[in-house]
Structure 1
Amino acid sequence: MEVQIQPPNQSLDVSLMFDNFDIDILVKVLSHTMLSPFFMFWLPVFFWFNDVPYTDPVFFGTSAYVIGVAVFWFTKWHSRLYRNQGSLIYGPGSLDWGEQIILITGGSSGIGELIANTCAVRNVTVIVLDVNPIVTENYNINYYKCDVSKWEEVEAVSKQIIEEIGHPTILINNAGVVQGKLLVDLTPEDVQQTFSVNTLAHFWTLKAFLPGLIERKKGHIITMSSVAGMVGMARMTDYNASKAALISLHESLRYELDHKYN
């Protein structure tokens, strides 16, 4: 009996190569190559070692591009120093992850769950506020049931958290809902829920935990907004408006923290 052995299928589904490709990967690659002054610096150096005259358009254009990229990076770096209360001489202090208590709203699913588990790997004490419990194997994630859209629940659970664990040092306001309906199809309850969870919840958690951050004169507040807060989209009128409000809230809070507290 003759047995025929078929060669293995060498075909490759090219689409699989791009399953995990997104704009973040592209930006990451460009930031370390074409948009990195440390990478692009060697291009005019190469021309210089090859005796390319300074007046050569390619040499001149490349040098101007590198200078522009360097200015962009310096501006970006200086902006980061300002946001973290640093200066050109003294940069912001390093963050000791082991001493941090991170509170995440809406941390039982989606992005919030990913953030909670990622932070837990750094040996950080993580607190999750959500109406549903988080399913995790990380021992340092503490779950508290709370509807963050209701001030009474936030106020009560904040006192419990401070007493049992301590004052959060990093507040991540992440909870959010999406209705996905046309404006005329939205019920008053839909609109109320969207703004209560997406916007008002930020006010309630800030009112509860911001005084502790101000008293210790350090901490971090992370507002999870969206590009949807800056553009319009169909079936997203309530969601976009709630996220636009968060952008304004965060900017106004920044001015208060910079100028109204000693």
Structure 2
Amino acid sequence: MDHTRPSVRDSWFAPVSADVFLKVLNVTLLHPFVAWIIPLCFRAEHQAFTTTPMLVSIAWATFVTLLWMGDVISHKIAYGLHREVDLSEEVIVVTGGASGLGLLIAEVYGMRGATVAVLDVADLESTDARGITYYKCDVGDKNQIARVAADIERDLGTPTVLINNAAVVVGKKLLDMDLDEVDKSLTTNLLSHFYTTKTFLPGMIRNETGGTIVTVSSVIGHLGAAQLTDYAAAKAGVTALHKSLAAELQEYPEIKTILVTPGQLSTPLFAGVKTPNTFIAPVVEPIEVAKEVIKAIDLGLSDHIGMPLYARWIDWYNVLPVGLQKISRRLSGIDASMKTFVGRRNTELSEKNGHLI
């Protein structure tokens, strides 16, 4: 059985999800332009403004427009104005960029003419990656980061965008992990964010056009899950770090912060994981997350990117009575999803032996 990708239900309706319905609504009934087309069509039929269809359609279009305007205003209040981004002048550092989401983002920016530095302990999966300079580095090692930072400064210039994406998954119950695995997980998944941010943020502050810090967290940081105690704890810490850092950076409006909290990604990191519910919690393709991250960076915005739909509303889970929370966990299957976990390391070992587990 091929475990290189997270498993999904093999059925004709597998691609159908709550996110698909929302995307359709966002370009139809929930889009201000489309909403105003409806009363215009009624008017083209010479209906009076006092008729019920006209009044209902105008009320709906007004409501949708106010929602859209409110969202724009809310974003500006929360994150402020954008910063000017010139890709020819940007130096982008991507940790954990040798594969998966990090490599996708690095390749896109490399092909678009930006200067990209990839930091990873693993070799680049794509040997044809253009515009990327690879630095072998364990981001959990402060000394290695300091050495590589000096190399990047000398070779490429002062970094203006930092994408903290490096992660490891042990995938064991707490009682089955040894302390070295715990240390490795927390260092890579949490402490590395402190190390890289402390290293590269001062240069961004000195830069006239500022910079952008992207924090790749996870919805698991809000929920927790069996066999993910270390990973969940680290991601919860990463989310808290990002929010606290954003508050501290209010005195530097040119420094933008982007928090990414995806659900289950279709990457080797979670190879073999069983998808609890493909309708509510579909597997997210890395390219979809990469597009949103790249869009926010290009526009010079601060943002919070949550995918799929439930990831943007997950905070409401903790508002539920504890009994309903328990029932929700059982129905979702989240605590059983890691039972089929294979992981990146085991997948790579099986491929070297000439077969897939």
Report the TM-score, using the length of structure 2 for normalisation.
0.61
Structure 1 pair 256/124, CA: closer, same or farther in 2 (3 Å)? same
The reply to whether residue 194 of structure 1 matches residue 185 of structure 2 is: yes
Cα distance between partner residues in 1 of 2:88 and 2:234: 34
Among 159, 162, 177, the residue aligned to 1:168? 159
Structure 1 pair 66/183, CA: closer, same or farther in 2 (3 Å)? farther
**Cα deviation 1:71-101 (Å, max 9, x = unaligned):** 3322332344456632xxxxx3552222211
Structure 1 residue 41 displacement after superposition: 1.6
Number of the residue aligned with 1:223 = 215
Number of the residue aligned with 1:157 = 148
Structure 1 pair 21/126, CA: closer, same or farther in 2 (3 Å)? farther
Structure 1 pair 106/65, CA: closer, same or farther in 2 (3 Å)? same
Report the TM-score, using the length of structure 1 for normalisation.
0.81
Structure 1 residue 246 displacement after superposition: 1.2
Structure 1 pair 167/260, CA: closer, same or farther in 2 (3 Å)? closer
Among 109, 121, 124, the residue aligned to 1:131? 121
Structure 1 residue 59 displacement after superposition: 4.7
Structure 1 pair 59/261, CA: closer, same or farther in 2 (3 Å)? closer
What amino acid is the match of 2:225?
M
Cα distance between partner residues in 2 of 1:65 and 1:82: 26
Structure 1 pair 30/140, CA: closer, same or farther in 2 (3 Å)? same
SS of 1:172's partner is strand
* Contact 1:214–1:261 (8 Å) recurs in 2: no
Structure 1 residue 171 displacement after superposition: 0.5
* Contact 2:93–2:159 (8 Å) recurs in 1: yes
The reply to whether residue 234 of structure 1 matches residue 226 of structure 2 is: yes
Structure 1 pair 230/140, CA: closer, same or farther in 2 (3 Å)? same
Number of the residue aligned with 1:63 = 58
Structure 1 residue 180 displacement after superposition: 1.4
Unpaired runs of at least 5, structure 1: 1-14, 87-91
* Contact 1:226–1:243 (8 Å) recurs in 2: yes
SS of 2:123's partner is coil
What amino acid is the match of 2:61?
V
Structure 1 residue 154 displacement after superposition: 0.8
The reply to whether residue 146 of structure 1 matches residue 141 of structure 2 is: no
Structure 1 residue 226 displacement after superposition: 1.3
Cα distance between partner residues in 1 of 2:252 and 2:113: 34
Cα distance between partner residues in 2 of 1:100 and 1:63: 45
The reply to whether residue 259 of structure 1 matches residue 251 of structure 2 is: yes
Structure 1 residue 131 displacement after superposition: 0.6
RMSD: 2.6
Cα distance between partner residues in 2 of 1:61 and 1:187: 63
Cα distance between partner residues in 2 of 1:195 and 1:64: 52
SS of 2:148's partner is helix
Number of the residue aligned with 2:67 = 72
The reply to whether residue 211 of structure 1 matches residue 202 of structure 2 is: yes
**Cα deviation 1:79-127 (Å, max 9, x = unaligned):** 44456632xxxxx355222221110000001111111111112111110
With 195-204 and 136-145 compared, the bigger mean Cα shift is at 136-145
* Contact 2:107–2:130 (8 Å) recurs in 1: no
What amino acid is the match of 1:258?
Q
Structure 1 pair 180/167, CA: closer, same or farther in 2 (3 Å)? same
